[in-house]
Chain A
């Protein structure tokens, strides 16, 4: 068994590049999904019913689709409509679009629970539109929903593992390569699990940092 781990250690460059790719994918997808989700949440909160309804349909459909199917659709399905991505493009687009729906719903739920008065004060002090959203509405939303957003980022990290099926060289793909090359499935996959766990620990410490900021303001 020790020997198996030594074999994985021998392939550390491959494993580390897989880890790096997973981190890059997750960070990019997490940031973009949060940003786009914030914008989409403003659409969900629109008073014009038709606009809000369009966003609502997208959010519900995306949330009810298994991520694997969603990735298949973008990588294998879209080319028949003339839209073609390479595996990195398809993987990133799938992660971002899919999790934007979740982020939007998370922020919308936090928004509904916010007190009305500070926003009203924003109106009275001359805020409107995007400035109102960015300066007055969004900061308390992010503070209030940090634990749920953090949870969603962890979900992004885990969903990125599905992208091994479109040959994206992320961590699961790397572990899979190592095990098939040397037939050390337990050592290779357990190493990957521990590395995923490490990523999650970093995310959780980020969440608790934001949580402390929120606590100081509560």
Chain B
């Protein structure tokens, strides 16, 4: 009996190591636009099922960081790996061509600030487009999954409508369903609620909260402090292109360690006065 348990224990570290291997690992990432240094020496990892919220003032490099992860922005230096496989640079050390890059990008799903739905396609066509024509998956399966996804984001009834006929919140929920349809290892959200009317923010955050709870691995650039506090497993605070602070949301919001994080949170004091106390 005990030997059997020992045997199990002996295998456990290996099993755990594989399950705990980060979905995303970013190391020594730097990026400049001309003489402007946008990101300098960024290091972080995201584990399976984590929801990492990237916070920081406007112009701190949050969106650029997100866009570097799938090489929509080409990093100047550093290494980005998804599921252990390096993005952008092939095994020979050469920069991937457009086709190889495109293939790598299918491993991440992306949700855009301005929705970026394809205007010539209906809601359901937006969702099935890339699974059918990029991933070349079987039509019946893809359509069946699209129905389930649209149900999940509450838009099954709108499946044959063109995006132009939807509200901002509905568009963004289609955007999320479209990203999920790729079965990505990682979902990237680039300020998904910033372009929405205030009364429409809630419906999008509700969908994102569900995804976080269901164990989807997500990196979310956002200004929604309440969402970050409640749904994130970890906060990354970015300022002037560097990670200033990273930690559990509770610790970050109630006791930020850095002055810059404290100042940043203070600017949201109107809504978070119960949370943030100015430092001595």
Residues of A within 8 A of B (CB): 117-118, 120-129, 131, 135-136, 139-140, 143, 216-218
B261 within 8 A of A: no
Q: B115 contacts A117, CB within 8 Å?
A: yes
Tell me the smallest distance from the CB of B271 to a CB of chain A, in Å. 29
Mark out the residues of chain B between 129 and 153 whose CB falls within 8 Å of any chain A CB in the assembled complex.
Answer: 129-130, 133-135
For B178, what are the chain A residues with a Cβ–Cβ distance below 8 Å? 125
B102 within 8 A of A: yes
Contact code string B151-193 (vs A, CB < 8 Å = 1, else 0)? 0000000000011100000000000001000100000000000
Tell me the smallest distance from the CB of A75 to a CB of chain B, in Å. 40
For A124, what are the chain B residues with a Cβ–Cβ distance below 8 Å? 70, 72, 105, 108, 110, 112
Chain A, Cβ-Cβ closest to B71: A123
For B99, what are the chain A residues with a Cβ–Cβ distance below 8 Å? 128-129
Mark out the residues of chain B between 90 and 135 whose CB falls within 8 Å of any chain A CB in the assembled complex.
Answer: 98-99, 101-103, 105-106, 108, 110, 112, 114-120, 129-130, 133-135
Q: B134 contacts A126, CB within 8 Å?
A: yes
Cβ contacts A to B, 25 pairs, < 8 Å: A117-B114, A121-B110, A121-B117, A121-B118, A123-B105, A124-B70, A124-B110, A125-B106, A125-B110, A126-B102, A126-B105, A126-B106, A126-B130, A126-B135, A126-B182, A128-B99, A129-B98, A129-B99, A136-B118, A139-B120, A140-B118, A143-B120, A216-B162, A217-B119, A218-B164
Q: A123 contacts B72, CB within 8 Å?
A: yes
Q: Which of A128, A129, A131, A140 is in CB contact (< 8 Å) with B119? A: A140
Q: Which of B134, B163, B164 is in CB contact (< 8 Å) with A127? A: B134
Q: A120 contacts B112, CB within 8 Å?
A: yes
For B117, what are the chain A residues with a Cβ–Cβ distance below 8 Å? 118, 121
Tell me the smallest distance from the CB of A129 to a CB of chain B, in Å. 6
Tell me the smallest distance from the CB of B275 to a CB of chain A, in Å. 34
Q: A217 contacts B162, CB within 8 Å?
A: yes
Q: Which of A117, A121, A123, A140 is in CB contact (< 8 Å) with B102? A: A123
Q: Which of A117, A118, A126, A139 is in CB contact (< 8 Å) with B103? A: A126
For B116, what are the chain A residues with a Cβ–Cβ distance below 8 Å? 117-118, 120-121
Q: B98 contacts A125, CB within 8 Å?
A: no
For A135, what are the chain B residues with a Cβ–Cβ distance below 8 Å? 129, 133
Q: A127 contacts B72, CB within 8 Å?
A: no
For B162, what are the chain A residues with a Cβ–Cβ distance below 8 Å? 216-217
Q: B118 contacts A118, CB within 8 Å?
A: yes
For A123, what are the chain B residues with a Cβ–Cβ distance below 8 Å? 72, 102, 105
Q: Which of B98, B119, B130 is in CB contact (< 8 Å) with A118? A: B119
For B164, what are the chain A residues with a Cβ–Cβ distance below 8 Å? 217-218
For B110, what are the chain A residues with a Cβ–Cβ distance below 8 Å? 121, 124-125
Question: How far does the alpha carbon of A208 sit from the alpha carbon of B119 in the complex, in Å?
Answer: 19
Residue among B110, B134, B162 facing the most chain A CB atoms (10 A cut-off) = B134
Question: How far does the alpha carbon of A216 sit from the alpha carbon of B119 in the complex, in Å?
Answer: 10
Question: How far does the alpha carbon of A131 sit from the alpha carbon of B99 in the complex, in Å?
Answer: 10
Tell me the smallest distance from the CB of A63 to a CB of chain B, in Å. 28
Tell me the smallest distance from the CB of A208 to a CB of chain B, in Å. 18
Q: B130 contacts A127, CB within 8 Å?
A: yes
Question: How far does the alpha carbon of A140 sit from the alpha carbon of B182 in the complex, in Å?
Answer: 23
Name 13 extra pairs, CB < 8 A, besides A118-B116, A127-B102, A140-B119.
A117-B116, A118-B118, A121-B116, A124-B105, A124-B108, A125-B105, A125-B182, A126-B130, A126-B182, A128-B101, A135-B133, A136-B118, A217-B120
Question: How far does the alpha carbon of A136 sit from the alpha carbon of B120 in the complex, in Å?
Answer: 9
Question: How far does the alpha carbon of A118 sit from the alpha carbon of B129 in the complex, in Å?
Answer: 13
Residue among B98, B118, B178 facing the most chain A CB atoms (10 A cut-off) = B118
Contact code string B252-267 (vs A, CB < 8 Å = 1, else 0)? 0000000000000000
For A122, what are the chain B residues with a Cβ–Cβ distance below 8 Å? 118
Q: Across the A-B interface, give the 6 residue pairs with the lowest CB-CB distance, nearest first.
A: A117-B116, A121-B116, A126-B106, A128-B102, A125-B130, A126-B134
Tell me the smallest distance from the CB of A113 to a CB of chain B, in Å. 13
Question: How far does the alpha carbon of A122 sit from the alpha carbon of B101 in the complex, in Å?
Answer: 12
For B106, what are the chain A residues with a Cβ–Cβ distance below 8 Å? 125-126
Q: Which of B112, B120, B134, B182 is in CB contact (< 8 Å) with A131? A: B134
Chain B, Cβ-Cβ closest to A121: B116
Mark out the residues of chain B between 1 and 51 whose CB falls within 8 Å of any chain A CB in the assembled complex.
Answer: none
Chain A, Cβ-Cβ closest to B163: A217
Question: How far does the alpha carbon of A121 sit from the alpha carbon of B106 in the complex, in Å?
Answer: 11
Q: B98 contacts A128, CB within 8 Å?
A: yes
Tell me the smallest distance from the CB of B166 to a CB of chain A, in Å. 12
Question: How far does the alpha carbon of A139 sit from the alpha carbon of B122 in the complex, in Å?
Answer: 13
